[in-house]
Structure 1
Amino acid sequence: MNKFSSIFGQILQIFSKSEFYEAVRETKADKGVKGFSCWGQFVAMLFCQLGQAHSLREITGGLATCMGKLRHLGIEEAPKRSTLSYANNHRPWQMYERVFYTLLDKCKGLAQGKKKFRFKNKLFSLDSTIIELCASLFNWAKFRQTKGAVKLHLLLDHEGYLPVFANITEGRVHEVNIARRLSFPKGSIIVIDRGYVDYGLFAKWTEEGIYFVTRQKDNARFRVIRDNPIPERGKILRDSVIEFEGFYAKEDFPYQLRRIEVWDDTKGEVIVLLTNHLEFGPTTLAAIYKDRWQIEVFFKTIKQNLKIKTFVGTTPNAVMTQIWTALIAILALKYLKFRSTFGWSLSNLVALLRYNLFTYRDLWEWLNKPFETLPILYPKKSCDFLGTPIVPDVEQLPLRGI
């Protein structure tokens, strides 16, 4: 460990500078940059996420009050509010999208084998969430007559529960439009809710060897071909092989489906599932759909613990920059969680990191033993062997623990 680097500084070391500046070059984010670097903007916006800063004033003020602690972050001084605002408004958000996918590759290596189910098929959940905006301030984010919003479309890999694809659109863009543009490895299982029910899309996935599990729409017309045996005990009420009867439904999807009725104790109702997977047991398919809840947990975690509900800028570029840095922050937290032996929840990790960002501890030791790792203090020795007083360099030596 570098003794002169805070926990925040060690988190930044996860990001390769060479890969970061490659993303800068590819997106031409440094075009016309004078003084305030792209790395400085990234440090400030990541501090906004991990430090829970609510405004440009809190970001710049929070960094400015860390006297002598900024050099190890790769910046000389805290930016001015106008400087950071200009950078967020004009430097392309695509740079942060590239950084996100670069970090994702590192996380995938640590997430291998961290999955709930034993089957070899890749399991994904696809969903979206609305991020509401004030219509008068964000007049470009059209959603409804009196409301503005953007929509975060996300694909969650259940191996490590990593967000492997993200797309941010205006709030009125339908989820199916994004689903049609995605491609998956053959044999993948996609878990979706009823908002993605599109029989033409289902036919395309079936022809490509991709499986889906979803809820049946209430107005679906179908014919039962046969009933499969069900477990004597459990919550499976019926397992049938069906085909659609409606003219347009049958024309769009001329294949057979499984229709599974499952009793839900939580809601006290019957849930009807549809899938084109004809081999898995009904209990397994029900468990697969139940695990879709993890993407809802992901949305809840990112909204409650990171800054994507209030924004420090109002332009489209500033909003996109802040959302992508939130996604980068959640990946960084996942990376730390994977490398830790302590039983962290993401919300607890975010909270304790916020209190310790500028303390001087060994990050990896602290992750494993958060309540036992002491901060690094000044050395007690005040004179060298000739009796000359030692004057510490405040730009390098760590301050006493907060």
Structure 2
Amino acid sequence: MQSNPSSQEVKRYLTNFLPSEALEDHADAVGVVERDRKLQIPPLVWSFAFGFAGGASRTLASFRRSYNSTADKTLSPGGFYQRLTPTLAEYLRDLVECGLDEVAVPHTVSEEFNRFRDVMIADGTVLRLHKLLSEEYEGRREEQAGARLHLLHNVTEQTIDRFSVTDEKRHDSTQFETGSWLEGRLAILDLAYFKYRRFALIDENDGYFVSRLKRSSNPVVTDELREWSGRAIPLEGKKIFDVVDDFCRKYIDVEVEIEFDRREYAGTQSRDMKRFRVVGVRNEDADDYHLYITNLSREEFLPEDLATIYRCRWEAELLFRELKTQYRLDEFDTTKKHVVEILLYAALLSLVVSRELLSLVIEHADDNLVFPPERWAATFRSHAQLILYRLSGYLGYSPPPLLDRLIADAQKIHKQRPVLQEQLATAIKPAAEA
């Protein structure tokens, strides 16, 4: 049994992760804080991280209430909203990027992945926006607005290595950059990222990949990597999809030759060829094969191993589901581009802080305990308001008395907008007087 972290240790851990002085210094550097200094940056950041996670719905009003219950001085609705600026959006993005560089929850993948530096999954999801944002975030259909969040999910460390936000029409594939960062890493890719040149570059950077095989690619088999007894159909020299429907064997394991265009250089584009491995695993229910292309060797990975590896893509689906169900990533009731970005980065900030806190939990828990990501996210969210409240006291902030905050939040804001009782009283009074 390992020691349990105290409440003080949890608060100290979080404030070491995002130190108040660093939060304030960067806010000054990018111009978030105005001269009157009424806005307190640490409570604002933690309110976005925990107020978002704790609320039943995601509204700017709920963020303001979280801030007012944390900071020394409250902000009126107008005072809060006028501070939601494009500069604040950039500031929150910086915090997310900084947090991603720090957070890590190790030892969360199976032992068979130990030979890889990291297991990476690239994926994207569409976020539906108000139609008035269609110029800033162009959707796939006319008069429709949508953003696309692209993530590079590190399954090994259960966090996000990279992220970007584009309009909906931008293809996921354009956000996956190859380079030396791939060395020793395994990239698991779906058909949205299928490109022979990309596979070649991963291989040339000493990385590894597993991808579904696109039917339109139909590469030529150059060698069979597994011998079959009896009257097996010979594959060498044939295109894989031309013959795959005639098979009844459990596995296919062959080498294929692919052709691709190199990137244009000095006005010239050369053609190149490489050989990779294609594996097929029969799906008895559908009476067909799941075909994968990879540069993983047969000596180390059998066909069923590759099918198991590819199923890890479900981790990315779970991550998007966590962001949307636990942190309400797809709730954007605004017509302002920068407010969309603030809400989006707030969701990612919640995720980053959640993962950082999970690393502390794992460090102090028994070694045999397992923390499923979705269950942890629900637990984190249910305790978020309590953590925020205690964190406020630890940081030395003294929010106004509860009754004062209730009065401030519950009173009518717009004098020109009568409530129903006032309308009824106004209509009934002349009749009564008559």
* TM-score (norm. length: structure 2): 0.70
Contact 1:205 1:211 in 2 (8 A): yes
The residue number in structure 1 matching 2:52 is 49
Query: How far does residue 397 in structure 1 lie from its aligned partner after superposition?
Result: 12
* CA distance in 1 between partners of 2:17 and 2:76 (Å): 26
SS of match in other structure, 2:143: coil
* CA distance in 1 between partners of 2:102 and 2:259 (Å): 47
Please state if 1:113 is matched with 2:107.
yes
1:134-173 correspondence to structure 2 within 5 Å? 134-136=130-132, 139-143=135-139, 144-173=141-170
Query: How far does residue 115 in structure 1 lie from its aligned partner after superposition?
Result: 2.5
* CA distance in 1 between partners of 2:259 and 2:183 (Å): 28
Contact 1:24 1:30 in 2 (8 A): yes
Query: How far does residue 184 in structure 1 lie from its aligned partner after superposition?
Result: 1.9
Two-structure CA RMSD over aligned residues (Å): 3.8
Contact 1:23 1:99 in 2 (8 A): no
Contact 2:48 2:346 in 1 (8 A): yes
The residue number in structure 1 matching 2:274 is 255
Q: Which one has the largest radius of gyration?
A: 2
Contact 1:237 1:262 in 2 (8 A): yes
Contact 2:190 2:212 in 1 (8 A): yes
Query: How far does residue 151 in structure 1 lie from its aligned partner after superposition?
Result: 0.6
* CA distance in 2 between partners of 1:125 and 1:331 (Å): 17
Change (3 A) 1:352 1:298: closer
Amino acid at match of 2:86: H
Match of 2:310 among 289, 292, 295: 289
Amino acid at match of 1:244: I
SS of match in other structure, 1:119: coil
Amino acid at match of 1:318: V
Please state if 1:323 is matched with 2:319.
no
Contact 2:125 2:149 in 1 (8 A): yes
Query: How far does residue 77 in structure 1 lie from its aligned partner after superposition?
Result: 2.9
SS of match in other structure, 2:273: coil
SS of match in other structure, 1:295: helix
* CA distance in 1 between partners of 2:87 and 2:274 (Å): 48
Query: How far does residue 58 in structure 1 lie from its aligned partner after superposition?
Result: 2.7
Match of 2:255 among 241, 249, 258: 241
The residue number in structure 1 matching 2:20 is 17
Amino acid at match of 2:274: Y
Change (3 A) 1:37 1:130: same
Amino acid at match of 2:115: F
Change (3 A) 1:265 1:20: farther
Match of 1:99 among 95, 102, 105: 95
Amino acid at match of 2:217: A
The residue number in structure 2 matching 1:213 is 210
* CA distance in 1 between partners of 2:319 and 2:58 (Å): 21
Larger proportion of helix: 2
SS of match in other structure, 1:93: helix
List per-residue Cα deviations over 1:89-122 (Å, max 9, x = no partner).
33242322222233233322xx233332231342
Contact 1:308 1:323 in 2 (8 A): yes
Match of 2:191 among 179, 182, 194: 194
Please state if 1:272 is matched with 2:291.
yes
List per-residue Cα deviations over 1:174-194 (Å, max 9, x = no partner).
112111366524232211100
Change (3 A) 1:362 1:24: closer
Query: How far does residue 14 in structure 1 lie from its aligned partner after superposition?
Result: 4.2
Contact 2:278 2:292 in 1 (8 A): yes
The residue number in structure 1 matching 2:408 is none
SS of match in other structure, 2:274: coil
List per-residue Cα deviations over 1:268-302 (Å, max 9, x = no partner).
64211011333542333222211121011111111
Change (3 A) 1:352 1:122: closer
Moved more, 223-232 or 43-52: 223-232
The residue number in structure 1 matching 2:354 is 333
List per-residue Cα deviations over 1:24-59 (Å, max 9, x = no partner).
245333366742133343233224411224322233
Consecutive unaligned residues in structure 2, runs of 5 or more? 230-248, 263-269, 392-397, 403-434
Consecutive unaligned residues in structure 1, runs of 5 or more? 365-393
1:26-45 correspondence to structure 2 within 5 Å? 26-30=29-33, 34-45=37-48
Change (3 A) 1:266 1:38: farther
* CA distance in 2 between partners of 1:353 and 1:176 (Å): 32
The residue number in structure 2 matching 1:222 is 219
Contact 2:178 2:202 in 1 (8 A): no
The residue number in structure 2 matching 1:367 is none
Change (3 A) 1:169 1:102: same
The residue number in structure 1 matching 2:331 is 310
SS of match in other structure, 2:32: coil
Contact 2:129 2:147 in 1 (8 A): yes
State the percentage of identical aligned residues.
16
Contact 1:135 1:142 in 2 (8 A): no
* CA distance in 1 between partners of 2:205 and 2:223 (Å): 25
Amino acid at match of 1:79: L
Query: How far does residue 246 in structure 1 lie from its aligned partner after superposition?
Result: 8.7
**Would you say how many aligned residue pairs link Structure 1 and Structure 2?**
355
Query: How far does residue 156 in structure 1 lie from its aligned partner after superposition?
Result: 1.0
Query: How far does residue 172 in structure 1 lie from its aligned partner after superposition?
Result: 0.8
* TM-score (norm. length: structure 1): 0.75
List per-residue Cα deviations over 1:296-322 (Å, max 9, x = no partner).
111111111103111254322221121
